[in-house]
A and B are shown apart, each in its own frame.
Chain A
Amino acid sequence: MELTNDKLTDMFTRMVRIREFDERAGLLTEEAKVVGSVHLYVGEEASGVGVCSTLNDDDYITSTHRGHGHLLAKGGDMNKMFAELYAKATGYCHGKGGSMHMSDLDLGILGANGILGAGAPIAAGAGFACQYRGKGQVTVCFFGDGAASEGAIHEAMNLAATWKLPVIFVCENNLYGEFMSYNSQHAIDDVSDIAQGYGMPGVAIDGQDVLAVHEAASEAVARARRGEGPSFIETKTYRYYDHVGRDYGVVPRPPEEVAYWKSRDPIDIFRKTLIERDVLTDASADKIVQSVRDDVEAAIKFAEESPEPDVSALLEDVYTEVTA
């Protein structure tokens, strides 16, 4: 896909939106303004944006408990997202889902998901619908290195490969599952090694470089649209904060590890590239960041001023009313 300056700027803006959204979401949790807990995507922005930059509105994605970034990468509405975090009636799920279930079916987002790996079989199912309809749609399944240990991922990969479904499995390896390091959970260095065992191409790429992610995803998406079946992409990235919320230092990480990854911040890298390519200037990049911050504050205001769900909504939408 040709990346125009507008498209590059849009990708940069989406990455900034994710960063600013989740930084504020983390703070708001600490202030107890946001109900429950949030799993922050800070540090992983290039992965979601790089992949979603290759998708159309009618392509599907399944997301994870760490799903704010995927939703924003595919074009999610910050007002509805903050309102959902605030458990308000105007939120994406009318206050019935919260952080872990924010979805926008109109954007093809079949859920964030509180169960690790559960999105993968659902992605296979949506992939089958894409294949059956034959309109060239694809489905992306996002999951983490932790979920790569779940059986659901493996069952879904086998089904997708056997049926040649247009599904792209994107494993965002952020080096931690819960508070446990990647190496304590897996015997292989690259999760993408499992792809070969299921008969699909797999690559491990630099997940901090949004252009590298875009390129790998473009290839996998094109292959899926051509009817040649699923692919596997492992984006090597880093979870800046703890499993849940911001940095509580529950399990301290090696300082040199943190320093290395922060020196490879995905937004810094992309900003530098765009300035070098004369797509942005320092001033125009700053302007984008400021504009996103304004949007975030406006969305928080919208959420704070929104009503709680009416108690009568408790029993609504358990079932779809049948008209037949």
Chain B
Amino acid sequence: MADEKKKGTKFWQAIAQAQAYEMEANPEVFVAGQDIEMGALWSTASGLRERFGPERVRNTPLSETAMAGLAVGSAVAGMRPVVEIMFVDFMACCMDQIVNQMAKMKYMFGGKAKLPLVIITHQGAGTGQAGQHSQSLEAWFAHIPGLKVVMPSDAYDAGGLMTASIRDDNPVIFITNKRLLGLRGDLPNEAYVVPLGKAAVKREGTDVSVIATGRMVQEALKAANDLAEKGVSVEVVDPRTLSPLDSDTILNSVRKTGRAVVAQEAVRFCGYAAELAAQIADEAFDYLDAPVKRIGGPFSPVPFAPNLEAEWIKGKADIIAAIEEIVPVGAPA
């Protein structure tokens, strides 16, 4: 049993491997960030410095605006940077480069600029780090035309989406959830792609669709397991790429099941799940047998005290409760 658990590649290793494959294949790819030479705080650049040397694997000053600008300037000058911003919270320090520069350069310059860059960053609560190291801010980036936003929920997708992100000619914000980084998965022994803009049905079901992002995908899968024992069949859909969004896969699932729960870890108010709920209301209203339920964090900063933080974070129990509100347990529709 213990050996079984050790099988497969961890989420963070999948990301490091994907970068290594692309660095091997393309001398224009380089990685930079704080503590990147030691493999990055979250280990997502493990082994790269040893393999590719100091020219291509570079520590930066603690200077998010300069780091994001490094990505923009080197990309528009023909390179393919992967720059890490250690916590998504720190993206607040460099939002000009993200929002006003990398996202708009191509459009504002009449289509000429190409910005093949990846900003990888890490988010999520549950690590006792309080208000400035725990947020989930994916909606900030998904709101901006010109950015692509990627949010993998398992190791396989993390590796394949990173490969696709590096190969993409657009700025990609690649967001992990810190508590997923130790998850394991079976990966190919070579570079592979999970295409951007394609959602995945992570579990098929017939009674209700849970459309979840990031860590909430894993929570939804656990909820689906528990509910299966009660005779409720839950379908779990993971958009994987928040922008561009594969709306068809989501809407087809909801049209099939007739019920939908949308779930995110981020603060519920004005969150990404609200966009999902709105699209379902716009495009699949006639198929709905119940209101769309929406799960997200309370409208407060993430608190420090473990009991408060535990209260703040939504998860499996909240998903089950939401499903039970719209699917009568024991008498599925």
Q: CA–CA, A115 to B97, complex, Å?
A: 10
Of all A-B residue pairs in the complex, the 9 with the closest CB atoms, nearest first, are A121-B69, A125-B73, A317-B111, A129-B77, A93-B110, A155-B66, A122-B73, A126-B73, A320-B169
Q: Do A152 and B109 touch (CB < 8 A)?
A: no
Given the contacts A121-B66, A159-B61, A129 and B74 also touching, CB distance less than 8 Å? yes
Contact residues of B with A, CB < 8 Å? 30, 55, 58, 60-61, 63, 65-79, 81, 96-97, 100-101, 105-115, 145-146, 148, 167-170, 193, 196, 244
A224 at the interface (CB under 8 A from B): no
Number of cross-chain contacts by CB at 8 Å: 145
Size of interface on A: residues with Cβ below 8 Å to B: 46
Q: Do B113 and A105 touch (CB < 8 A)?
A: yes
Q: Do B66 and A93 touch (CB < 8 A)?
A: no
Most buried by B among A113, A114, A129, A316: A129
Q: CA–CA, A162 to B60, complex, Å?
A: 9
Given the contacts A158-B63, A317-B111, A124 and B146 also touching, CB distance less than 8 Å? no
Given the contacts A94-B111, A120-B69, A126 and B74 also touching, CB distance less than 8 Å? yes
How far does the Cβ of A235 sit from chain B's closest Cβ, in whole Å?
A: 22
Q: Do A125 and B65 touch (CB < 8 A)?
A: no
Stretch at the interface among A67-75, A96-104, A172-180, A250-258: A96-104
Most buried by B among A95, A159, A163: A159
Q: Do A158 and B66 touch (CB < 8 A)?
A: yes
A-B contact pairs, 15 of them (CB 8 A): A96-B107, A110-B113, A111-B108, A114-B100, A118-B97, A118-B101, A128-B74, A139-B73, A152-B66, A155-B66, A159-B61, A159-B63, A317-B110, A320-B169, A322-B167
CB under 8 Å from chain B, chain A span 106-140: 110-111, 113-115, 118, 120-130, 132, 139
Interface contacts beyond A121-B73, A127-B73, A128-B79: sample of 5 additional A-B pairs, CB < 8 Å, sorted by A: A93-B109, A97-B110, A126-B76, A159-B61, A322-B196
Q: Do A125 and B72 touch (CB < 8 A)?
A: yes
Residues of chain B contacted by A320 (CB below 8 angstroms)? 106, 114-115, 169-170
Residues of chain B contacted by A91 (CB below 8 angstroms)? 110
Given the contacts A111-B105, A114-B100, A125 and B61 also touching, CB distance less than 8 Å? no
Residues of chain B contacted by A197 (CB below 8 angstroms)? none
Q: CA–CA, A101 to B109, complex, Å?
A: 7
A324 at the interface (CB under 8 A from B): yes
Q: Do B96 and A118 touch (CB < 8 A)?
A: yes
